[in-house]
Structure 1
Amino acid sequence: MPKTSYSLTQRILHWSMALLIFFNLLFPDGMNRWHHLHRSGQPISPDDIAGANIHAYIGILILVLAALRLIVRALSGAPAEAEGSPAVLHLVARATHAALYLLLFAMPLSGIAAYYFGIDSLGSLHGGPVKMLLWVLISLHVLGAFAQHFYWRTNALRRMTIG
């Protein structure tokens, strides 16, 4: 029998990651402050380190959850693409999802490289163009889900929310 929605585990992973990703994207202040102080040679207080660590630990958690999510998807599978929308939309959705998965690994790994190993060039990519690309892909993902639900009236959004 074909799978019609994502498993509860997949939905919990998806929404947990979404919350953590939005937190780190919207509140990078601790890491930004630490980076500014570090780069300018100013003293870094324990509070500054704690703020940066919150951002870093959430990034590491996102990385772990992304790996777990791929494992669960390999074991559980995924529902077939929603019927009723244009074929080109399925292609765009596959490309967006692939790019999102790539960034779910690239963002934390580049952040780890910058924060823990001092590879500043990766930190610049992490906080600059890669972060912007992540925002664009998240926007496409959300817009695509809403278009599927409200315009083409498919069950794509329902499969990742209530099942």
Structure 2
Amino acid sequence: MKPLSYSVPQRALHWLTVLLIFFNLLLPGQIERVTDLLGGGKTPTPEEWTSANLHIYSGFAILAFTALRLILRFIQGVPAAPAEEPAFFQLVAKLAHALIYALLIAMPLAGIAKFYGHIGIAGFIHGGPMKLALWFLVIAHIGAVFVHKFYWKTNILDRMTKGV
């Protein structure tokens, strides 16, 4: 039997992940500069290191939270799609969620491969196509929430905020 709402841990992890995603997307810090300096044999300033480390630690947290979210998703389940949502859009929603989860795993791994493994293409993929895809999916996800709230008039937003 599917739950009627998301559990408190599921909701907490969702919103913590959202905060970290926006932090890293909007404030990438000095990660590229630090990587360039290290690649050129130079030493970053303490401020540059701090900024880069915030990006790195946020990426590790996103990866860990995503793993926990997937575990909870399999153990606790997720609410069924609202009956008001047409079948085609239910399929699109499942695909979009799968892509978001895939990116939230692949992006930190690509960042790790670039920063710690010195794999240049991983950095390009991380900061280029993956970042663009994540922006697209985040905007589409937020748009879908508004469609649910104001067009189909479902409680999808309430399930992830209030737990109803």
TM-score of Structure 1 vs Structure 2, range by shorter chain: over 0.9
Q: Which residue of 2 aligns with 1:95?
A: 95
My pick for the range that moved more, 39-48 or 110-119, is: 39-48
Q: Which residue of 2 aligns with 1:116?
A: 116
Structure 2 Cα separation of the partners of residues 38 and 121 of structure 1: 17
Structure 1 Cα separation of the partners of residues 76 and 90 of structure 2: 21
Q: Which residue of 1 aligns with 2:148?
A: 148
Q: Which residue of 2 aligns with 1:63?
A: 63
Structure 2 Cα separation of the partners of residues 19 and 149 of structure 1: 22
Q: Which residue of 1 aligns with 2:127?
A: 127
Equivalent pairs: percent with the same residue? 48
- SS of 1:67's partner is helix
Structure 1 Cα separation of the partners of residues 7 and 135 of structure 2: 26
From the superposition, tell whether residues 160 and 94 of structure 1 become closer, same or farther in structure 2 (CA, over 3 Å): same
Structure 2 Cα separation of the partners of residues 51 and 3 of structure 1: 40
AA matched with 1:135? W
Structure 2 Cα separation of the partners of residues 147 and 39 of structure 1: 46
Question: TM-score of the superposition, structure 1-length normalised?
Answer: 0.94
Alignment of 1:31-50 (within 5 A): 31-39=31-39, 42-50=42-50
Residue by residue, what CA displacement relative to the aligned partner does 1:93-121 show, whole Å, maximum 9, x if unpaired? 01100000000100100001111111111
Alpha-carbon deviation of 1:90? 0.6
Structure 2 Cα separation of the partners of residues 131 and 51 of structure 1: 19
Residue by residue, what CA displacement relative to the aligned partner does 1:12-40 show, whole Å, maximum 9, x if unpaired? 00000000010001000221321343455
What is the total number of aligned residue pairs between the two structures? 163
Q: Does 1:22 align with 2:22?
A: yes
Alpha-carbon deviation of 1:70? 0.8
- SS of 2:30's partner is helix
RMSD: 1.4
AA matched with 2:16? S
Residue by residue, what CA displacement relative to the aligned partner does 1:37-73 show, whole Å, maximum 9, x if unpaired? 3455544223222211110011001101111111111
User: Contact 2:31–2:55 at 8 Å: present in 1 too?
Assistant: yes
Structure 2 Cα separation of the partners of residues 96 and 109 of structure 1: 20
Alpha-carbon deviation of 1:155? 1.2
Unaligned runs of 5+ residues in structure 2 are: none
User: Contact 2:2–2:77 at 8 Å: present in 1 too?
Assistant: no
Residue by residue, what CA displacement relative to the aligned partner does 1:101-158 show, whole Å, maximum 9, x if unpaired? 0001001000011111111110110001110000001111110111011110011111
Q: Which residue of 2 aligns with 1:80?
A: 80
